[in-house]
Structure 1
Amino acid sequence: MDRTHVRSGPGKETNRKMVTLGLLAALFIGALDVTVVSTATPHMVEELSGLGMITWVFSIYTLTTCVATPIFGKLTDLYGRKSVFITGLIVFVLASVLCGMAESMTGLIWFRALQGIGAGALTPVTFTIIGDLYPGEQRGKMQGLFASVWSVAGLLGPLVGGYFVDYLSWRWIFYMNIPIGIVSLIMVFGFLHERFEKKRKRIDYAGAIAFTLGISAMLYALLSGGESLPWSSPVIWILFVVALAALLAFIAIEKRAEEPMIPLALFQSGVMNVSNLSGFLAFSISTGTTIYAPMWIQTLLGYTATKSGLMVMSMSLAWPIASNLAGKLMYRLGAKRFIVFGSLLVLLGSLWLMSLRIESPFWSITAILTVIGFGMGCLSTPQTVLIQSVVGWEMRGVATATNSLMRSLGQTVGVAIFGVLFNSHLIMHTKAELAGGMQAVFVAIFVIAMLNMIAVVFLPSARKIAELQKS
């Protein structure tokens, strides 16, 4: 089978420190972009109009990122990490410039779609390169560090966005990506050196088209249902039918493809299957918690958005702390132990969340979010390291990207399910109805946490995982 293999060295030596800093910079602007845009929403609407389309500024970015992620992941295995990463970074930065120059809401949405395509390369390819550069225990430490970037971006996003909006212009939330992106480009291009075995490659165009159609139709239905279109709309059902047909066709194509976009052999691995299922479930929990816990704090307890943000910050702080601990200790104590322990914390935090009442003290929500955030950090980093360890170099990119895709799908599907549950309780929008709707969401989060707990128990034993590890 024709493949291109990439390694760091010999010849010019890769400067791991410089490359790592460049990757951190790229991941930071990708993560920051997810949070900073929401701060500028009112000003965008005021200048560009198009209030009815504002949700698509966020939704289209999610859609194109999900579609692009596994495609870029496969391309890294075919053509090397460096070229794909640089291509994605250039697309992201150029799209950021276009977003900052947008003169209409329609234009901004199209440019955000392009930006999402670039973002589809930043996260999975960054984690793949780190998996290549750092072996064994070092890989765990670095993956924990890089996972922390998302939490730091979550903390800084509202502050950075608020500063630019108040003192400059909302357009600078996009322009600020230019200098950071250039620094990242110079560091990775100049200091990451790969050696290729040049061989013929076949791109799975049919698989990519079927996958793009299927995922796009499914995500469009999930993002539009209950918002721009009712769930009972024929359009929504047609989209789901198209998604199902396209994804079934995708599976059939992958069985025959010489270089499948997502090799079905990945799904013969128990580690991959459990990690992907857990990623899907766990990240739906984290998204639901970060949406509805602040709503509970503000609408039922009567606290300001600022105080609500400070309380939710506990989750953003606990997550990176746990990620770093897990990355440093997982090789001594066992990855499965950390994943099971983290899942147990998420389950206990979800149980506590489900028990909330209107009279519950405000500190209890901070404690709940801390427990869930710490649990998420304990389970997410070891899963990434395990996935990269049980596949060979030639499938590490697509394996990492597939896991990223499952996490993103979990967030999107979770938001859709939680929205249906919440809205089903609202008639007059009374305080009691709001409380009932959010409690229904919290019950669903607890059920998902139980399913996640059951799933991770089926991870292979530490001894079996050690036998499966290839690098």
Structure 2
Amino acid sequence: MEKKTKQKSVVTALLIATFLTAIEGTIVSTAMPTIVEDLGGSHLYTWVISVYLLALVIATPVFGKLADLFGRKPMFMIGTVIFLSGSALSGLSSSMEQLIVFRAIQGIGAGALSTIPYTIIGDVFDFKMRARMQGLMSSVWGISGIVGPLAGGFIVDRITWHWIFYLNLPFGILALVLLWTSLHETIEKKKRTIDYAGILIFAVTMTSFLFALNRLKETKSISPAMIGLFAAALAGFILFLWIQKRGREPMLPLSLFKNKFIAISNSAGFLLGFILVSVTFYIPLWVQGVTGLNATLSGVTMLPMSITWPLASMLSGRLMDKRPISYITMTGIGVIIIACTGFTLFTEQTPMTLMMCVTAITGFGCGLTFTAFTVAVQSSVGWNQRGAAMGSHNLMKSLGQVIGISVSGLLLTDQLNGPVLQHSLHSVFILVAVLAVCAFAVTSLLLKEPETFSRE
């Protein structure tokens, strides 16, 4: 009985942490127009979002590896404290420059909260329960997709935008207390080696690459400075691989990618991240710019995705007890292909109800697929590599989203309504459909791989 009580406390802490990171994007985006009106600095608008994502991408694999070296519990605590510190400071911001710096701190902490909970689930539960827990965790993302915009609007209109950050504090502290008192782990006491060189080079490489991508999306032209940034990123990536190959405790062990389940899950996760961010950003733009409906109805169009995703995730968890992971992932991506094909057939006369059906199908396919890939990565390695494995998987999904929004942005016209916008969005949807087929082809390689992990 005591063990079950502690497990419930651990799960509650993880759900709270997941909710905080999941709701962050939607609630801040909703409040940004008011924040800019208050603080000024409209030219820095996108950096409030971009710097958070940049810090998140860099911190995700770092915290994953540190959790393997020093334990999940202390790294979760450190990450949560960093996240809450960034939240409190963001709420105190008196200028856009301050907000950007404090959002970077918040993003570093979010790197821990977006990875370590999934690692702990892999530690605490057996295969069957891992699958079902992923369904529960996915439901949190679905709920946050509904609650975030509503809560953000209410807080901004009735209180003040500062409280969208302050509200993280009581929930984060509750998660800290629950995990501190309920999770017990035994860490072998020995000298640990931290890959400082790998972390530094990775941070510089990602910063150069993502900054160059962001500038390319904004200017849609190549400049000498941009070429220099891409060249620096390429050189940094080569140097990073060299360090990881020779390091004693590499931040991102290259041996992980010899595991076919991890390599395939990460590759497909990158493509699916690209698809997901393109759909969630550009379907609302289609609804407003092409169909001519208002912002509220564009949000309603995306609402079915937040409902079908967690439902399909729970179904995926139950199916994994009976079916091979390859069967579930390929079925899910097949559903995503159907949805992406539907997007390419949209016209200015397409009714909102039909668009809602297509977004519902998208959410269902994502729920099946993302859940199964997460469990595959969790179950493919032992305790001492699970944090790094989950860090690599979340990194690839995040990179897919960051690169996806930049690349698809290159296809987008500056004219945000009318036939020109319709044509450019169709180009984005065609690209997304092609990538969905590529993801299916990559995932089909799992059919040749026997499942070596236990389902007991």
Q: Name the TM-score, length of structure 2 as normaliser.
A: 0.97
Q: Tell me, which stretches of 5 or more residues in structure 2 are unaligned?
A: none
- Aligned-partner residue type, residue 198 of structure 1: K
Instruction: For residues 104-161 of structure 1, give each alpha carbon's deviation from its aligned partner in whole angstroms, at most 9, with x where no partner exists.
Output: 1100000000000000000100110111111110110001211221121111101111
In structure 1, the partner of 2:123 is 132
Rate the CA distance shift 1:18–1:308 in 2: closer, same or farther, 3 A: same
- Aligned-partner residue type, residue 177 of structure 1: N
In structure 2, the partner of 1:93 is 84
**Conserved 8 A contact 1:336-1:461:** no
**Conserved 8 A contact 1:66-1:405:** yes
**Conserved 8 A contact 1:271-1:460:** no
**Conserved 8 A contact 2:135-2:310:** yes
C-alpha distance in 1, partners of 2:328/2:309?
Answer: 13
In structure 2, the partner of 1:162 is 153
Judge which range, 13-22 or 250-259, deviates more.
13-22
Instruction: For residues 447-467 of structure 1, give each alpha carbon's deviation from its aligned partner in whole angstroms, at most 9, with x where no partner exists.
Output: 1111011111011457x11x2
C-alpha distance in 1, partners of 2:352/2:35?
Answer: 33
In structure 2, the partner of 1:281 is 271
C-alpha distance in 1, partners of 2:277/2:214?
Answer: 14
Judge which range, 153-162 or 216-225, deviates more.
216-225
**Conserved 8 A contact 1:13-1:193:** no
In structure 2, the partner of 1:180 is 171
Instruction: For residues 306-326 of structure 1, give each alpha carbon's deviation from its aligned partner in whole angstroms, at most 9, with x where no partner exists.
Output: 111111101111111111110
C-alpha distance in 2, partners of 1:213/1:87?
Answer: 22
C-alpha distance in 1, partners of 2:448/2:372?
Answer: 14
In structure 2, the partner of 1:314 is 304
State the secondary structure of the residue aligned to 1:439.
Answer: helix
Instruction: For residues 399-426 of structure 1, give each alpha carbon's deviation from its aligned partner in whole angstroms, at most 9, with x where no partner exists.
Output: 0011001000001111111111113xx5
C-alpha distance in 2, partners of 1:402/1:223?
Answer: 22
**Conserved 8 A contact 1:144-1:320:** yes
Pick one of 190, 196, 208 that aligns with 1:205: 196
C-alpha distance in 1, partners of 2:417/2:91?
Answer: 40
**Conserved 8 A contact 1:270-1:460:** no
Residue correspondence of structure 1 range 106-117 to structure 2 within 5 A: 106-117=97-108
C-alpha distance in 2, partners of 1:288/1:220?
Answer: 19
In structure 2, the partner of 1:454 is 441
Rate the CA distance shift 1:430–1:258 in 2: closer, same or farther, 3 A: closer
Identity %: 40
Instruction: For residues 281-339 of structure 1, give each alpha carbon's deviation from its aligned partner in whole angstroms, at most 9, with x where no partner exists.
Output: 01111111111111111112121111111111011111111111101221212211110
Q: CA deviation at 1:18?
A: 0.5
Instruction: For residues 359-402 of structure 1, give each alpha carbon's deviation from its aligned partner in whole angstroms, at most 9, with x where no partner exists.
Output: 22222211111111100110000100011111111000010011
Q: CA deviation at 1:92?
A: 0.4
**Conserved 8 A contact 1:73-1:400:** yes
- Aligned-partner residue type, residue 414 of structure 1: G
State the secondary structure of the residue aligned to 1:262.
Answer: coil
In structure 1, the partner of 2:244 is 254
In structure 1, the partner of 2:221 is 231
4+ residue runs of structure 1 moved beyond 4 angstroms?
A: 11-14, 468-471
Q: CA deviation at 1:225?
A: 1.8
Does residue 442 (structure 1) correspond to residue 429 (structure 2)? The answer is: yes
C-alpha distance in 2, partners of 1:429/1:62?
Answer: 25
C-alpha distance in 1, partners of 2:318/2:3?
Answer: 30
Residue correspondence of structure 1 range 315-394 to structure 2 within 5 A: 315-394=305-384
In structure 2, the partner of 1:22 is 13
**Conserved 8 A contact 2:289-2:416:** no
C-alpha distance in 2, partners of 1:311/1:407?
Answer: 24
Pick one of 296, 300, 305 that aligns with 2:295: 305
State the secondary structure of the residue aligned to 2:49.
Answer: helix
Instruction: For residues 57-107 of structure 1, give each alpha carbon's deviation from its aligned partner in whole angstroms, at most 9, with x where no partner exists.
Output: 000000000000000000000000000000000110111000000011100
**Conserved 8 A contact 2:301-2:355:** yes
Pick one of 406, 420, 423 that aligns with 1:433: 420
- Aligned-partner residue type, residue 21 of structure 2: G
**Conserved 8 A contact 1:391-1:470:** no
State the secondary structure of the residue aligned to 2:349.
Answer: coil
C-alpha distance in 1, partners of 2:187/2:24?
Answer: 33
State the secondary structure of the residue aligned to 1:331.
Answer: coil
Q: Name the TM-score, length of structure 1 as normaliser.
A: 0.94
**Corresponding residue pairs, total:** 455
Pick one of 235, 243, 246 that aligns with 2:233: 243
Q: CA deviation at 1:223?
A: 2.1
Pick one of 54, 64, 67 that aligns with 2:58: 67
**Conserved 8 A contact 1:32-1:150:** yes
C-alpha distance in 1, partners of 2:185/2:4?
Answer: 9
Instruction: For residues 215-270 of structure 1, give each alpha carbon's deviation from its aligned partner in whole angstroms, at most 9, with x where no partner exists.
Output: 1111111122232x443122221111111100100111111111111111011111
**Conserved 8 A contact 1:278-1:456:** yes
In structure 1, the partner of 2:401 is 411
Q: CA deviation at 1:12?
A: 9.4
C-alpha distance in 1, partners of 2:416/2:258?
Answer: 48
In structure 2, the partner of 1:294 is 284
